Structure 1
Amino acid sequence: MTDVVWAYPGDAGAVAAHVARVIARHGPKRLAFTGGSTPLKVFALLAQQGLDWSDVTITLTDDRRVPDDHPASNFGKLNAALGASGAAFERLEEGMAVQPFDLVWLGMGEDGHIASLFPHMHALVRPGPSVIATTPIPLPPEAPFDRLTLNKRALKATREIILVVTGASKKALLEQVLAGSDAYPVSDILRGYGPPVTIYWSE
């Protein structure tokens, strides 16, 4: 079973320190970052650290199918935050095969979804680690867009996963999953066979 640990502390500074340690490793690194508001805080912290990003390739775990300059574009926000870092950026393209990662950073929704793998969705199934198209059911009113996302095999094709969540309700859901629930997309990451997971939780 998956090795799961809770990190203390679990705030943005601790997440930034974890990512910085991966970046500092010798040789090429491949990282997959989540979207949302928390990563922007971490990106700002990382940008202040003088890290060498020259052998780092960054992709997203998922994104909305909108132009880069759309407010809902995770790629647009990632590029604005780290575009000057010297890292290479790999865009998500439907059907593309995905090479293994050194780190996959996941968030989680209130419904237990990870990346853009929702409890209920239309999705195109593809074999192997790849990028698939998904449409949440129902479409979230705050982000009513089709998505591109790494599939489960791609998310698990990594040396390690960090799962970064905030709020008491999400902590309760994770505790429910770790106690045995298989009812959520995150269940497969925490309870199936796969890479080790470090949970960073803060209020």
Structure 2
Amino acid sequence: MKLIIKNMVCPRCISSVEQMLKNNNLPARYIRLGEVELTKDPGKSKLEQFSADLKKNGFELLDDQKMQQIEKIKNLLIGKVQEGSVEDHFSISKFLGKKIFKDYSALSKLFSEVEGITIEQFFILQKIEKVKEWLMYNELSLSQIAFNLGYSSTQHLSNQFKKLTGMTPTRFKQLGAPHRKAIDAIHK
């Protein structure tokens, strides 16, 4: 039985959900961002208890097909950005098409209707948050960051960063962490 879980956006989320599954005696075949497959149907009462535990910890069990689809799109894009290897000329439509096997225009329309932004805007916001993370930890140069996130140049990255944050990457680095957002709150 497959479950779709909203707000599972990082490895710690996976660990947290894994612990809740153990606490509820629900064996899982696998656990990954936004998705859990149980080895067997747990029954209504166990599933309701698990759902309540998820809510207490900031997660939500999704049962609506449209919301599941949107959460899958978000998790795929978040995962792509978090791995830090977005190719130059990366195509969101091709990437999602290979992973979801649905018409991209339908996915895009649904995403925009529900989320209030386009898939492309969501992806850019994710990339900008990753830029902020790398700048804060001083792990990579701006040109390395641009390359890892598929920007054609550091200038392109800097322009997009300033457009979305109101400051240059250098200024952000000087100001520090208070300007970072949680992954699940990026477009809100």
TM-score by length of 1: 0.29
Quick check: which one's strand share is greater?
1
Q: Rg bigger for which structure? A: 2
Higher relative contact order (CA 8 A, sep 6+): 1
